[in-house]
Structure 1
Amino acid sequence: MKKNPSLPSILRALLLAGFLLPIASCNQSGSENANNETEPTEAEAKLEPLTSETAVEVLSAYEKQHPDSIAVISTRLGDIKVRLYKDTPLHRANFVRLTNAGFYDQGEFYRVVKGFAIQGGDSDNREMKNGAYKIPQETNPKHIHKKGALAMARYGDEHNPDKESSSHNFYIVLGEPLTDAELRAYEAEHNIQYTPQQIETYKTIGGEPGLDTEYTVFGEVIDGMDVVEKIAQEPVGSGNWPKEIVPHKIKMTNK
């Protein structure tokens, strides 16, 4: 059954609500540690926590020194290979920086919405802290929320009018093929115009165009979409948390 074009706002509200709690929880932990005079653990020493004042400068410098753009996300259900876009430099640098420091090795896919998206990057068991900061949005009309798109979560508009991204929570898009009429409705809602190729992509591969212009897409799955689908099929409890955790480890690779 095709989705009703009126659903984007509903889905977006659910997405924002689900993203808000984990981010707030991590920020609180970072604030508590800032007031704690104990020595950092060995894991924490690998990653200098950033702030809103230092994030852009540090990430801009890191991006120049680390041109890596291929990452492998390993889970108990298999591996997902993603390519990071060069024209979203701050988001790419942030993802590579956290990956190289081992930060994402302490994360998991903690929210699964079948047919919509799987969200990872966070965990209640994490020891390493990355600081309380957000990443300036780098939305680009070239990069749409097609099935397999890799994007960054964020706070809702009422708390975040500039649509800045989370420091670490990411998601991979699922979604179903759409019709011309549905796509025209999304174009009107977001005041955008899809290229013929993007229209064909949404009609054949599918995705979630209701998220376009709202979140920064900074990469895409190039292998392992079947694993994403398996994760999406995991039984969930309240808050769409998988009943059996799906930890992930992420490594950069040249292959």
Structure 2
Amino acid sequence: MHTNQQVLLRTEKGSITLQLFVEDAPGSVANFVELTKQGFFNNLYFHRVVPNFVAQGGDKRGDGWGSSDYSIRSEFAPLHYYEGYVGMASAGKDTESNQWFITHSPTPHLDGRYTIFAKVIDGMDVVHRLEVGDKIVDVEVLGLLPTVTSATK
């Protein structure tokens, strides 16, 4: 997996670009990318939006209780939830599957409790406008970006 990978999340309110944290949460990123390639998130809705906290999506049922028939392991890197960080929703350690959230503001009480696997690098204004019931039109893994190495500098 390429370490400089991005995802374009198109919503009814506009587009959000995510930078995936391949090295910090490889299993969570691989799971998210695989679900994205399958079109899993297309036409789903943000089922939970708590102002100044999070916007949450990725639930097929649309009520916050929809999960897949598998769970992935939690991956706790030494990262912190700042504005625009993307985490895996869970019901406890090692119960993540397909729901995720984007933070509206720093949320230190989530640090070390929920896997951080990406951050918003464009479209934070869209995140702040999201409301419950807003549709995720589609999600696309963007082409691999060249990584700057000493040979290409």
TM-score range, shorter chain: 0.7 to 0.9
The runs of at least 4 consecutive aligned structure 1 residues that moved more than 3 Å come to none
Corresponding residue of 1:100: 37
Whether the 8 Å contact between 2:73 and 2:96 is mirrored in structure 1 is no
1:43-58 mapped onto 2 (5 Å cutoff): none
Unpaired runs of 5+ residues, structure 2, are 146-153
CA root-mean-square deviation? 2.0
Tell me whether 1:247 sits opposite 2:135 in the alignment.
Answer: yes
CA distance in 2 between counterparts of 1:120 and 1:99 reads: 13
Tell me whether 1:81 sits opposite 2:11 in the alignment.
Answer: no
Corresponding residue of 2:101: 171
Whether the 8 Å contact between 1:148 and 1:173 is mirrored in structure 2 is yes
CA distance in 1 between counterparts of 2:139 and 2:28 reads: 15
1:166 Cα deviation after fit:
2.0
1:124 Cα deviation after fit:
2.9
Q: 1:252 to 1:68 in 2, by over 3 A?
A: farther
Instruction: Kindly provide the CA deviation profile for residues 168-194 of structure 1, in whole angstroms up to 9, marking residues without a partner as x.
Output: 00000012xxxxxxxxxxxxxxxxxxx
Corresponding residue of 1:187: none
Q: Give aligned pairs, total.
A: 139
Corresponding residue of 2:125: 226
Q: Which has the larger radius of gyration?
A: 1
1:130 Cα deviation after fit:
8.1
Whether the 8 Å contact between 2:22 and 2:29 is mirrored in structure 1 is yes
1:83 Cα deviation after fit:
0.7
Q: 1:152 to 1:130 in 2, by over 3 A?
A: closer
Corresponding residue of 1:202: none
Q: 1:130 to 1:124 in 2, by over 3 A?
A: closer
Instruction: Kindly provide the CA deviation profile for residues 101-130 of structure 1, in whole angstroms up to 9, marking residues without a partner as x.
Output: 1111142111000000000001337xxx98
CA distance in 2 between counterparts of 1:169 and 1:149 reads: 14
CA distance in 1 between counterparts of 2:128 and 2:68 reads: 32
Whether the 8 Å contact between 1:151 and 1:216 is mirrored in structure 2 is yes
CA distance in 1 between counterparts of 2:99 and 2:4 reads: 20
SS across alignment from 1:151:
strand
Identity rate, percent: 35
Whether the 8 Å contact between 1:69 and 1:92 is mirrored in structure 2 is no
Q: Which has the higher strand share?
A: 2
CA distance in 1 between counterparts of 2:127 and 2:87 reads: 14
Aligned partner (choices 74, 77, 88) of residue 152 of structure 1 = 88
Corresponding residue of 1:110: 47
Unpaired runs of 5+ residues, structure 1, are 1-63, 176-206, 235-241
Whether the 8 Å contact between 1:149 and 1:221 is mirrored in structure 2 is yes
TM-score when scaled to structure 2?
0.83
Whether the 8 Å contact between 2:17 and 2:122 is mirrored in structure 1 is yes
Corresponding residue of 1:190: none
